[in-house]
Amino acid sequence: MEGLNRLLELRGVCRSFAGKDVLRELDLSLEEGQCVAIMGRSGCGKTTLLDLMGGLDRPDRGEIFFRGSLLRPGQLRRYRRDHVGFLFQDSGLIPEFTALQNVAAGVRICKSGADPMEHLALVGLADRAGAYPSQLSGGQGHRVALARALAKKPTLLLLDEPTEGLDRQTGQEILDLTLKICRERGITAVVVTHRVEHALQMDRQLLLQDGALTEGAVL
Amino acid sequence: MRLGLLLFRGLIRRHLLRAVLIGLCAMFCFTGALGVSWAGESLVSTRQDLEDSWGEADLVVYTQHQTPGDLEEAFLGIEGVDAVSEGMLAEPIRCRFQDGQVRSVRLFALLDHQLIRPVVQGDGELALSYGYKVDAGVDGSLVLALPQGETVSVRATAAMPMYTGVYVDRAIVSTDGDMVDIYAPVERVTEIVGECYVNYALVRLDGSVPVEQVRDRIAGSEDVFVSYVAEREPAYEASLALEDVICRICALFPWIMLGVGLLFVSIFLAGAAGQCRGSIGVLRTDGAPLGAIYLGICLFALVSTLAGACLAVPAAWALAKTILEISLENMGLPGGTLVLSWPWLIRCLGGCLGACVVATGVGMLTVSGGRVARIRRRRGGRVRGRCAAVVATAVSTGAAVCMSLMSMMFMDSLDAVRQEQFSDRYGFHVQVVYEDLVPLSRLQELREGDMVQRCEPMLFGTMSLSAGDREWEVSCVALSDDPLLILRDEAGQPLPVVEDGICLSADTAARLGVGTGDLIRARIRYGSTQIRVMCSVTGVSAQSTAFLEAVSLETVEAYLDSSGVMNSVAVTVRPGCLEDFRAYVQTLPGVLAVQTGEAGQRRFDCGFSGTRVLVTTVILASIALGTSVCLMMCYAQWKRELRRDTVEHLLGRSAWWLAFRSALWRLPGVALGLAAGSFAALELMPGMLRYLSTDTIAYPRVADPGTLLTGGGLCLLAEGLCFGMYLLADLRQWRRPRG
């Protein structure tokens, strides 16, 4: 019964770059609907861990299970398309598309059937649907990126320092909005952050240090 | 599918400038490729049309004056002759032209148009030779006063295969420009010259008997005195030699244009695709299928390229029409309309499709590189980027240097032919040509008035040379011991003209398979006089315009019934006396033409002006293309360097040092390109010259150090300007005040 609630499980995952071990025999399991914060010094491997969880990278050793099934290299694109939403620190919008098109692109990719305009309204940017990323402020860009990620109706939302570059108030608003929607929809959220107050809003806090995770610790 | 279309729309919106640049590149390359090949196709077609409309014969026969019908009756009885057309080539008459000059006018007429029908354009009975109209730059009608005082106006032009022109010109070399051919109905010619006769015939063979046998039978005809029989082909090919050169350039140039254009399109497309790597990364992160991304990029490439290709059609039409008109004018051929042939259309579509495929392929390759951009970290980008910039600079510089050097060397070769014709060979200012053989005593009248520094008699004619079973028709000149007309060997040394010796051109020597010291038989004709002599080859000239052989005047005189004759005189005049001398000679009796070096040179330049325009275009285009390619290939690397250098400048590094370093990095590429381009040009040039050479002009290889320096220098200057723009942009960026 416990296994049914387990969304993602990393077993003995190792990843190294240029001979340097970034992640060492790392184990992690995420429950459905859980909000998790990952903290750690810069360069400790937080983004690498997020890439592995999101199917953007493959571990050198170890296995990753999604809902009890092993994620194989050939399944990663479908896994990302159907289950994972991303929100990066640089918002990750497509400059060629308008705000609405950015959200619609996500919908079209995963064929979720969501209404892009409704999601833009959800983040309070319905009136900026026709604006291009270059015409949006940093906070607005993050909101559009959030709308795009949510429009995919993901089961796992990965946020890589989503408030980075934003003022305290805007950052807090975006995080609050994100957590509210995730909790309403039962989405598992993994947030990489340097801010302790943000981490404390999560259900679970993890510290990444020397390639290993420590439960409940904060910097 | 919808995602691909969405991406395509986004790319067009955000990268409109690049789309326009890709379109312009495609337009540029297709305009060049389509236009030049279209002109080439049309030239070939025009030539075919002319052959169809004016007909053709296999042999041309010159005879003494005969009663109309005699030649037809005499030649039709010979086995192998299918049809005969008689013609009347009147003795030249001296007419005063509207510019005040006195020139020889040669009237000719065809009694029937069974074999040949001149293409006449304009009004009136008299039609000026189209070739003369073009060469002499005659604009509008020509007004001339006939010897009997009548003034006639020539408002039409006539074009036909130059059977008469070529052979008569070859018999009296260098009367070009001073001898006007006018075609008219036989009744009008009879009215002007006062008698009706026939003296040449065009003969078509039925192919049942070898052409040599028919020639011999016609030459030995008992009923008429045949002075000269020539096959059609040499005359015809000679008249169209320039067309062949242009057609060959037209065949080669489109491929170069297509290659360069594709390179441009690829660079711009790679730039566009490279700029949206981030977007591709985001889409791939969201799980977008690669096919949709490919579709977007490929549509971007395809639409931009196709738009350019479509715009190229009217531009190609204009280019093709211009080339066709220039070429036909140079060739002395009338008319010419652009034709659309199936092979050409298929080639165009194939080229367009190929360009789109290449452009799409480049886009896909760039996307393939970009799709993992987020996943894999990029390492070693700085060194790799700089190496790529060096290679790109070397390749583009090499291509520019190679193309421009080859074009300039070809121009040098053209100039060498020109110089050989008018400086090296002819050490005289004026050539006086007489209507027939005149005694050497007439040299004295030329010396009157003290305008002449030196004059030497010459005896021009045609001759059949044979060695073993090989035979070849050439023009020849009999020269004195110390002639003003000089043939030179490969080393540039004058060849000796000695008794019982003959100097052959390299082309003739090769055709006959003989060399210095070999004995050959020569049958030499001067008007109606014909002699047969055995000569030993005393030297082989390395003349580029290879249709003149030289024998000693003593050799000829020994065989002539009446020695001490000439039909031409080479004259050097005292400074400032040229026009007076010319005017004086025009008043002398029996003078057929007074040809000055300048006039001949002008005619030569006029004939080659189209080729020069093409070559100059290639030089400029190659420099522009090479530098532009270099500029674009370095653009991405420059942008990367700029960011890094800006940071360095903010940290205190001198802007000038950074600019110097930026330029320094490109120097190895420039040096490499310069060396490789020069080497390639020198290696490829002999093959290129062989490709462009024709039966009448063998382009010499001229490797002038000045040309090499100029060509390389021009390319370097152009690239230096381009890099200078970069550096200025660098400096402006670094010196911008920051707050």
pLDDT of residue B373: 37
List CB contacts (< 8 A) between A93 and chain B: 282
C-alpha span between B182 and B125 (Å, rounded) = 10
**Is the per-residue pLDDT at B133 higher than 70?**
no
**Is the per-residue pLDDT at B139 higher than 80?**
no
Q: Provide the 10 A C-beta neighbour count for residue A219.
A: 11
**Is the per-residue pLDDT at B611 higher than 50?**
yes
**Is the per-residue pLDDT at A139 higher than 60?**
yes
In the predicted model, what is the mean pLDDT of chain B? 76
The two tokens of residue B470 are 């090989």
**Is the per-residue pLDDT at B424 higher than 80?**
no
Contact B559, B531 (CB under 8 A): yes
**Is the per-residue pLDDT at B143 higher than 50?**
yes
| pLDDT band, residue B147 (cuts 50/70/90) | confident
Is any Cβ of chain A less than 8 angstroms from the Cβ of B78? Answer: no
| pLDDT band, residue A151 (cuts 50/70/90) | confident
Pairs across A and B, CB distance < 8 A: 65
Q: Provide the 10 A C-beta neighbour count for residue B453.
A: 14
Do B6 and A108 count as a contact with CB atoms less than 8 A apart?
yes
Do A96 and B14 count as a contact with CB atoms less than 8 A apart?
yes
pLDDT of residue B369: 52
Contact map slice: B 623-662 vs A, CB within 8 A: none
Do A78 and B287 count as a contact with CB atoms less than 8 A apart?
yes
Q: What is the pLDDT of residues B255-264, one digit of tens each?
A: 777 777 777 7
Q: Which of B78-87, B349-358, B519-528, B614-623 has the highest mean pLDDT?
A: B78-87
| pLDDT band, residue B603 (cuts 50/70/90) | low
Nearest CA in chain B to A100: B6
C-alpha span between B479 and B32 (Å, rounded) = 49
**Is the per-residue pLDDT at B546 higher than 60?**
no
**Is the per-residue pLDDT at B171 higher than 50?**
no
pLDDT of residue B178: 65
Lowest mean pLDDT segment, chosen from A135-139, B122-126, B166-170, B398-402: B166-170
- Cα B502-B503-B508 angle, rounded to 5 deg: 105
B737's CB contacts (< 8 A; 6+ apart) are none
Is any Cβ of chain A less than 8 angstroms from the Cβ of B272? Answer: no
Provide mean pLDDT across the span B213-218. 86
Q: What is the pLDDT of residues A206-216, one digit of tens each?
A: 888 888 888 87
| pLDDT band, residue B142 (cuts 50/70/90) | confident
Question: Residue for token digits 């429950």?
Answer: A31
pLDDT of residue B81: 92
What is the CATH number that goes with domain A2-215?
3.40.50.300
DSSP B526-554: ETTEEEEEEEEEEEEE--SB--EEEEEHH
Provide mean pLDDT across the span B150-160. 83
| pLDDT band, residue B122 (cuts 50/70/90) | confident
Alpha carbon of A1: minimum distance to chain B alpha carbons (Å): 31
Q: What is the pLDDT of residues B679-692, one digit of tens each?
A: 888 888 888 787 77
**Is the per-residue pLDDT at B738 higher than 60?**
no
Indicate whether this complex's ipTM tops 0.90. no
Lowest mean pLDDT segment, chosen from A152-166, B455-469, B472-486, B605-619: B605-619
Strands A204-209 and A188-192: unpaired
Phi/psi of residue B478, each to 5°? -95, 130
Q: Where are the domains of chain B?
A: 59-235, 423-603
In chain B, % of residues over pLDDT 70: 76
Q: Which of B669, B656, B665, B667 is nearest to B728 (CA)?
A: B656
**Is the per-residue pLDDT at B239 higher than 50?**
no
Nearest CA in chain A to B287: A81
Is any Cβ of chain A less than 8 angstroms from the Cβ of B374? Answer: yes
Q: What is the pLDDT of residues A31-79, one digit of tens each?
A: 888 889 998 888 888 888 888 888 888 888 898 998 888 888 888 888 8
Write the CA distances from B109 to A18, B62, B86, B181, B201, integer angstroms.
Answer: 92, 14, 9, 11, 11
Nearest to A94 among B2, B15, B282 (CB): B282
| pLDDT band, residue B146 (cuts 50/70/90) | confident
| pLDDT band, residue B82 (cuts 50/70/90) | very high
